[in-house]
Structure 1
Amino acid sequence: MVFEFLAHRRACATKQQERRERIQTLPLVYHEPLNSEEISIVNQLASETVKQVQSGALEPLDVLHAYAKKAIQAHDATNCLTEVLFPESEEWAKQCNRRGPLAGMPVSIKDTAGIAGWDACIGYSAWVGRRVQKDSGLVRLLRDAGAVPFVKTNVPITLLSLESNNDVFGRTTNPHHKDYTPGGSTGGEAALLAYGGSRLGIGTDVAGSVRCPAHFSGIYTIKASMHRFPKTGNGTSIPGQIGIPAVYSPMTRTLADLEFMWRAIMSMKPWTYDHSCVPIPWREIELFSSEKKKLRWGVMWTDGIVEPSPACHRALQEVVTALEANGHEIVEITPPDTLEALSLGSQLIFADAGKTVLKPARSGEWMDTGVVEAIRLLRLPSILRRLYAWYWRYIRNDAAYASIIDVWREKTTEEFFALVSRREAYRERWFDMWTAQELDLVLTVPNSLPAPPHDGMKDGWSACGYTFLFNILDYSAGVLPVTHVDRVKDALNNFKPRNQIEAKQYKLYDANKMHGLPVGVQVVGRRLEEEKVLEGMKVVENSLLSIGQAYVLLNTD
């Protein structure tokens, strides 16, 4: 155990020194301030940069230098990077496909990505130095499209947290406020994009891991449905976990960049790079016609487990008001039992009682506080778990929390199969509800809170229902920023939590301290409706613009 801990410390020190030296020993060009041309490059839409590379007006190497400089600044401010791929990526820039749909465009990628010759340790010290042997299908697609992968970004150990911290790389902070998290598990990516050190990034999502960081950091994303976006050949903390599979998805600085990236990647026919992708090209969606002038939006004001905080409720209300002002129809929906969904999804992800995610962890290695809480409950002896559930149900009158504790244990194969069957039945109930109400899209909050303070997952680990729900359903879901926390408008008054999940989550909410943090909304479509979700996000953003409520991105120039 002592030797294992010493090995852990050595691996962490080695990796941190490697990252530090890579940055310190970069050629002088990377350490100089951005000049006016470079500032212009990082501030223009990705589509414009690609167009200029394709025409010969911009050199890919100049584009790389601009983004690399800004990425280093972002890292200095937030500790968002894991692997610094330049100056090696200079060769990729020089040799890039200048006619491709992403010609010369630097792309940042979550640490899980498989890039030949580089680590993908995802915060486990035991995996430091295990170089990936070949590029994943996603990375090959990006490079064939002309893109230049240039950095990898930080994650939480286990990938099962809405924060991004580990012993190997340290903690990533929110560029809007250093005392708060940018999210997780794709938090490093969100911090980098929000700061302006990248415009196009890629993350993964199994319970909200691209959508919560987008909400917490003020950026844009659409979580894909399974099999739409390439993922084979990349790293993970739970290989073989198919109960609620993780999906790779783009994350960007603006909505225009998000559409551009989706279209570019789909134009490359990802199913020719990854056997798991369905052969569905990007489809042109017309939400309106001569007969259809408005959309029917289903609004989920609450999941019935954790009420949205004043800041998140206000953001949702502002969007609803803007949509109504533009003639759209708003229908309040009461979804099928969301507590059942949370219970089902949690049991499917932790069916092995967390053994797989903990297996690579070494003795003495720091573990995410939320994961620690989850594992502690999973390891309760059966009799103690039943007594604990009884206490919450009958002494504390909290049937919601008790129902989670009751089933929080390792599952047999037969029990796992039964959970998958129940998941499918739950999906059918949502399908029937959506069809019966003739909904075009659903609108809700991405989380009950804005970005939590660091180590907030100790209390908030089970309060991910607003995003996790749509992983369970495998629905396409996007997040866009709407406003910022206002200490006056969003103050909490006379709030009484209904259950332990809500009580622990609301311990983290303080509008005064959170003042200025981004707040987003979530736009949801059915399975494989990424194009429709994107068009819905455009409707939301344009509706807000029409009433003078444009979101202002973080400016770090």
Structure 2
Amino acid sequence: MSTTTTTWQELVTDKKRRQTEAIPKSWLISTPPPSELIVTGVPEACGLLTEKEVLITNTEVVLLLEKLASAEWSSVEVTTAFYKRAIVAQQLVNCLTEIFVDRALARARELDDHLKLTGKVIGPLHGLPISLKDQLRIKGLETTMALTGLVSPGYVSWIGKYAEKNSVLVDILYECGANPFVQTNVPQTLMWPETFNNVFGRTANPHNRSLTSGGSSGGEGALVALRGSPIGIGSDIGGSIRIPAAFNGLYGLRPSYGRVPYAGAVNSMEGQDSVPSVFGPICNSIGGVKTLMKAIIDSKPWLKDPLAVRKKWDEEDYSLAEHGHGKNLVFGIVWNNGHTVPHPPIIRALEMTKAALEAAGHKVIDWLPHRDKELCDTVYAIWNAGCMQDFNSVTSLTGEPLIDNMLLEAASSEAVVAGFRPPLNSGATAFELWQLQKTKLKLRQEYLDLWQETSKMAGTGRPIDAIISPVAPFTATPHGLNKDASYTSIFNALDYPSFVFPVTRVDPVKDGKKPPHQFLSPEDEANYSIYDPETFLNAPVSLQLSGRTLEEEAVIAMTEIVDVALKTQK
């Protein structure tokens, strides 16, 4: 379909029609009315999935792989079960973009035939269905998010274009025996912590559909939360894995730059490499995150991606050899970032985590913010140096409007989410950009020095082992109100691997609104004003654990320790 003779609205209508036609008619369900906000129980209650399919889709990744490897469960039946549940999720929260049932089932049959013929699995992820954020190219599939050589995440412009080859990460997943089976929704331009675009529309949060699923990996977060996928791949430039993971009550890892290959994928602001985006997993279990990360790293991605870091999976790091082998750990805890005080449920989650860790024999000390706002502002200025030119160069191809807010209804310019759509005349000269990059490096050095100095108060002879902090000053917000990514963006600037873990849920009794405090900023006052526990009903409450650069194995292991401590306390 030619964009020179067809309006962008007609392109969208045709694409949505073809997406709908890709869904087997027998997999359509009677969906609950919009007034039914909590839909996490619908996949099991709707009657589409058999008892065994419910069992399969509720099984965690590690056990799922064991059953696939032993041929107790075939790849065909596992893929079918998750595909049916993914289609249910799509009908409930609108989380998918590309649907290719026949192709995924053909791959599943190939995997089953190989195992039956040879008695061996193809790789460590044999038969595992994996969902992919719609940035990753799969050869031969239409990818409305991108065209080879050009970038268009969440745009109308490249409807009808097909990927000529796989992204490197997709090649690796296939080599490991995985079965990529759906692609998931993103916001227009990717640069937004919510998920809405002019092609596929809005993705809602299954825990409360009046709330956002987060972004920009919001389709992944919502899909995995409904167990329509055992594990998904998201990307994170300022919190885009961690925010959806947190808002949907999942585990999500933001690795350091280059630990997971990015080559062949598409992105907004390509060429901006001072604060690059990274790929990482979103899952219902820590074990699934570890399994996927190890499989990817063991595949030696640095041989396929020139920017991938040459660092093998380090079992010594995972054993926490440099962290007292996991005994008597010391955590820094962030109560607020000096700019915005978190809502009561987040404070309660911090208190719960501190108590659980201390009960388990670990130590928790306060980590005071150090120029956090300056660091985040520097990062935003780096992104803003050329982002509007990047966005407008793509939307102008079809006349598609640039979305300037994520509210449910059109709003005035006063409602625009600050920091995510800079003024049209914003930008920086090359020299000004260099100064921003110098500032970022200076602040990274200061953080490193501060971390080292904590050895004086830790009591273990070493610095603190990790930082525990909010993912945002709120849980999932009503659509259009996610205005603060500072709690995540700081770790993108520092390049610290960060792992989100669920703690609790909003409780209207325990999380009542507190009296006004002395506000730290106008944003702090605005954040205080939107809180009402009934508005955030049933929202998951999560935190993040951050280690030092390229310390993914240790971060995974320490998050396991925190997770066990919390579950023991419960």
TM-score range, shorter chain: 0.7 to 0.9
Shift of 1:365: 2.5
Q: Does 1:419 align with 2:436?
A: yes
Q: Distance in 2 between matches of 1:291 and 1:236?
A: 38
Q: Does 1:22 align with 2:32?
A: no
Moved more, 131-140 or 289-298: 289-298
1:5–1:364 Cα contact (<8 Å) kept: no
Q: Secondary structure at the match of 2:12?
A: helix
- Structure 2 match to 1:357: 391
- Structure 1 match to 2:488: 467
- Structure 1 match to 2:154: 123
Q: Does 1:192 align with 2:213?
A: no
Shift of 1:345: 0.7
TM score, norm. by length of structure 2: 0.86
Q: Does 1:505 align with 2:527?
A: yes
* 1:174-189 correspondence to structure 2 within 5 Å: 174-189=205-220
Moved more, 238-247 or 219-228: 238-247
**Structure 2 unaligned residues grouped into runs of 5+:** 29-42, 115-120, 146-152, 407-415, 455-462
Q: Distance in 1 between matches of 2:27 and 2:373?
A: 54
* 1:323-472 correspondence to structure 2 within 5 Å: 323-352=357-386, 354-362=388-396, 363-365=399-401, 367-369=403-405, 373-374=418-419, 378-379=423-424, 409-437=426-454, 438-457=463-482, 460=483, 463-472=484-493
Q: Does 1:294 align with 2:328?
A: yes
- Structure 1 match to 2:345: 311
* 1:44-443 correspondence to structure 2 within 5 Å: 44-96=59-111, 98-118=121-141, 119-121=143-145, 122-284=153-315, 285-287=318-320, 293-352=327-386, 354-362=388-396, 363-365=399-401, 367-369=403-405, 373-374=418-419, 378-379=423-424, 409-437=426-454, 438-443=463-468
- Structure 2 match to 1:492: 513
Shift of 1:69: 0.5
The 1:239/1:377 distance shift into structure 2, 3 A limit, reads closer
Q: Distance in 1 between matches of 2:325 and 2:192?
A: 45
1:327-369 C-alpha deviation (Å, 9 max, x unpaired): 1111111132111111101101111252212321243525041
Q: Secondary structure at the match of 2:365?
A: strand
The 1:499/1:64 distance shift into structure 2, 3 A limit, reads same
1:154-180 C-alpha deviation (Å, 9 max, x unpaired): 010011111100110010000001100
Identity %: 33
Q: Distance in 1 between matches of 2:401 and 2:225?
A: 30
Q: Distance in 1 between matches of 2:17 and 2:101?
A: 16
The 1:373/1:465 distance shift into structure 2, 3 A limit, reads closer
The 1:127/1:49 distance shift into structure 2, 3 A limit, reads same
2:269–2:387 Cα contact (<8 Å) kept: no
1:478–1:534 Cα contact (<8 Å) kept: yes
Moved more, 145-154 or 269-278: 269-278
The 1:161/1:4 distance shift into structure 2, 3 A limit, reads farther
Q: Secondary structure at the match of 1:538?
A: helix
TM score, norm. by length of structure 1: 0.88
Shift of 1:135: 0.3
Shift of 1:494: 2.0
Q: Distance in 2 between matches of 1:248 and 1:226?
A: 9
Shift of 1:63: 1.0
The 1:443/1:372 distance shift into structure 2, 3 A limit, reads closer
The 1:83/1:291 distance shift into structure 2, 3 A limit, reads closer
Give the partner amino acid of 1:320: K
What is the root-mean-square deviation of aligned Cα atoms in Å?
2.3
Give the partner amino acid of 2:319: E
1:120–1:235 Cα contact (<8 Å) kept: no
1:354–1:375 Cα contact (<8 Å) kept: no
1:491-512 C-alpha deviation (Å, 9 max, x unpaired): 2222253322223334432211
Q: Distance in 1 between matches of 2:73 and 2:560?
A: 29
Moved more, 54-63 or 431-440: 54-63
1:229–1:247 Cα contact (<8 Å) kept: yes
1:311-342 C-alpha deviation (Å, 9 max, x unpaired): 11111110011111111111111132111111
**Structure 1 unaligned residues grouped into runs of 5+:** 381-408, 549-557
2:131–2:180 Cα contact (<8 Å) kept: yes
The 1:5/1:349 distance shift into structure 2, 3 A limit, reads farther
Shift of 1:32: 7.8
Q: Distance in 2 between matches of 1:184 and 1:421?
A: 29
